[in-house]
Amino acid sequence: MEEKNLKKFEANGYCPVRDVVSRLGDKWSILVLTTLKENGRLRFSEIQRSIGDVSQRMLTVTLRSMEADGIVRREIYAEVPPRVEYELTTLGECLFPHLQALVEWAQEHIDIIMQNRSIHHKNA
């Protein structure tokens, strides 16, 4: 039998797919990106209200990691009390069409996915 020449996604060393997906592949990052794209510049409390069920801690962690990657910009205004707003950067904006395709796919296929889960659960 001939051995296949596989495209490898290295666990050791640098793997861009693994690195980027690990930062953006969770539900909170996708929801934050979608919220900022749909609503524009928002305060922390507005993002939290828009998403609904995200904890303050998880939203903080998510926003900080996206800010560190240059996908979200945080602006602090010297007011009393301080005002902090978040918005997508150019990098975040150019990511969004790719994310939008995933969001649209999920919306289009949610019924069949839920049906499959139900069948799988009954057979498990």
pLDDT at residue 6 above 80?
no
Q: pLDDT tens digits, residue range 39-69?
A: 999 999 999 999 999 999 999 999 999 999 9
Q: pLDDT tens digits, residue range 71-116?
A: 999 999 998 888 999 999 999 999 988 888 888 898 999 999 999 9
For the chain, how many helices (H) and strands (E)? 5, 3
Question: Taking the CB of residue 81, how many other CB atoms lie within 10 A of it?
Answer: 6
CA dist., res. 5 & res. 3, Å (int) = 7
CA dist., res. 99 & res. 9, Å (int) = 21
Instruction: Identify the pLDDT of residue 47.
Output: 97
Beta-carbon contacts of residue 114 (< 8 Å; ≥ 6 apart)? none
Instruction: Identify the pLDDT of residue 9.
Output: 64
What is the CATH topology of the domain spanning 16-123? Arc Repressor Mutant, subunit A (1.10.10)
Instruction: Identify the pLDDT of residue 10.
Output: 65
* Omega before residue 81 within 30° of 0, cis: yes
For 48, which DSSP code? Answer: H
Q: For residue 32, count CB atoms less than 10 angstroms from its CB and return exposed for 0-12, middle for 13-18, buried for 19 or more.
A: buried
Instruction: Identify the pLDDT of residue 26.
Output: 85
Q: pLDDT tens digits, residue range 20-45?
A: 888 888 889 999 999 999 999 999 99
Question: Higher model confidence: residue 119 or residue 54?
Answer: 54
Instruction: Identify the pLDDT of residue 13.
Output: 65
